[in-house]
């Protein structure tokens, strides 16, 4: 069962409540009103207007070219289609270098229809998380394989495999929660590490390439539908269209598998 009722929008406090009650959170990316309508009807809890739009909508090789304007545009479109799912807008690369600049962008995302904003990393971003939360803007943090770090990482690589990196990741997870984040996306990290972080985390975790031990899961919509975006599909991706039989069926099948704990399976996880 989804965290939301038929009529009411999913709220930020309901995320912690779902975790406390042991209900998995289901998140999906979306970039337009029509898909948002289908996703909302399928009872998906959270919609991420991700900067992945740079790769799956705009055709770039990374998320780096995405602009604040793009995220505002797609957030507004999604908000017109989805009334109930909680909508999270993603800060694009370079848009959150300091708290005041991040706040200016975040206000635009909220006014376009988002109820939460997502930013990658910890470190100097902790100050930004605190700044936004103190100004009533809920924040989702994103750690592990953060796609905006692709140049430093030398590609889209699993993070936290070495002990020192794993310890750093654990410390960052606690730090973003302490700074006030309400949700934490863990991307591309070994399953055992993601489970340990989830157990220690005071806030719900959402995994993508992080194994089955998180409090919820997120996938990129195009990956769930098996659409060829011109990019190599990582092992955590599953095409649900075959078993779902239709776009709505695929989204329902994904939500059911996450809630039943059957997706992701061991074949989708890193060690």
Give CA–CA dist 177/133, Å, rounded: 11
For residue 185, state whether it binds ligand KIV (rule: CB under 6 A).
yes
Q: Among 15-23, 49-57, 73-81, 106-114, which window interacts with ligand KIV (CB under 6 A)?
A: 49-57
The verdict on whether 21 is a catalytic residue reads no
Max alpha carbon distance in the chain (Å)? Answer: 46
Q: Among 38-46, 50-58, 107-115, 249-257, which window interacts with ligand KIV (CB under 6 A)?
A: 50-58
Do 123 and 129 meet the contact criterion of CB atoms below 8 Å apart?
no
Residue 73: partners with Cβ closer than 8 Å, 6 or more residues away: 112
Interaction pattern, residues 3-32, with ligand KIV; x per rule: CB under 6 A: --------------------------x---
Query: Closer CB to ligand KIV, residue 179 or residue 220?
Result: 220
Give CA–CA dist 230/151, Å, rounded: 20
Identify which of 49, 40, 17, 10 has the alpha carbon closest to the alpha carbon of residue 215: 17
Q: Among 33-41, 44-52, 161-169, 249-257, which window interacts with ligand KIV (CB under 6 A)?
A: 44-52
For residue 214, state whether it binds ligand KIV (rule: CB under 6 A).
no
Interaction pattern, residues 83-102, with ligand KIV; x per rule: CB under 6 A: -------x------------
Among 214, 220, 241, 255, binds ligand KIV (CB under 6 A): 220
Q: Among 18-26, 46-54, 152-160, 195-203, which window interacts with ligand KIV (CB under 6 A)?
A: 46-54
Identify which of 147, 200, 152 has the alpha carbon closest to the alpha carbon of residue 176: 200
DSSP 207-265: EESS-TTSSEEEE-HHHHTT---SSPPPTT----HHHHSSHHHHHHHHHHHHHHT-SS-
Structure token digits, residue 109: 């995302």
As measured in angstroms, the least distance from the Cβ of 265 to ligand KIV is: 19
The residue annotated as part of the active site, out of 178, 187, 243, 267, is: 187
The residues assigned a catalytic role are 187
Footprint on this chain of ligand KIV (rule: CB under 6 A): 29, 48, 50-52, 90, 142, 185, 187, 208, 218, 220
């Amino acid at each position: 069962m989804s965290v939301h009722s038929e009529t009411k929008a999913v709220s930020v406090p309901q995320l912690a409540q779902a975790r406390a009650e042991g209900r998995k959170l289901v998140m999906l990316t979306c970039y337009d009103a029509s898909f948002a309508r289908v996703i909302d009807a399928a009872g998906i809890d959270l919609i991420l207007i991700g900067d992945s739009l740079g790769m799956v909508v705009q055709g770039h090789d990374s998320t780096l070219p995405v602009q604040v304007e793009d995220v505002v545009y797609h957030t507004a479109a999604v908000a017109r289609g989805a009334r109930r799912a909680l909508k999270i807008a993603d800060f694009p690369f370079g848009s959150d270098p300091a708290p005041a600049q991040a706040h200016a962008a975040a206000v635009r995302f909220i006014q376009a229809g988002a109820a939460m904003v997502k930013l990658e990393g910890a470190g100097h971003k902790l100050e930004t998380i605190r700044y936004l939360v103190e100004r009533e803007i809920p924040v989702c943090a994103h750690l592990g394989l953060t796609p905006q770090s692709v140049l430093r990482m030398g590609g889209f690589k699993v993070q936290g495999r070495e002990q020192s990196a794993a310890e750093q990741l654990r410390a960052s997870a606690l730090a973003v929660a302490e700074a006030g984040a309400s949700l934490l996306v863990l991307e591309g990290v070994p399953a055992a590490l993601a489970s340990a972080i989830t157990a220690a985390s005071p806030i719900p975790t959402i995994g993508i390439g992080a194994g089955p031990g998180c409090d919820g899961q997120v996938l990129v919509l195009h990956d769930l539908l098996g659409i060829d975006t011109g990019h190599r599909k990582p092992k955590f991706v599953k095409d649900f269209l075959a078993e779902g039989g239709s776009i709505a069926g695929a989204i329902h099948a994904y939500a059911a598998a996450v809630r039943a704990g059957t997706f992701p399976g061991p074949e989708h996880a890193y060690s």
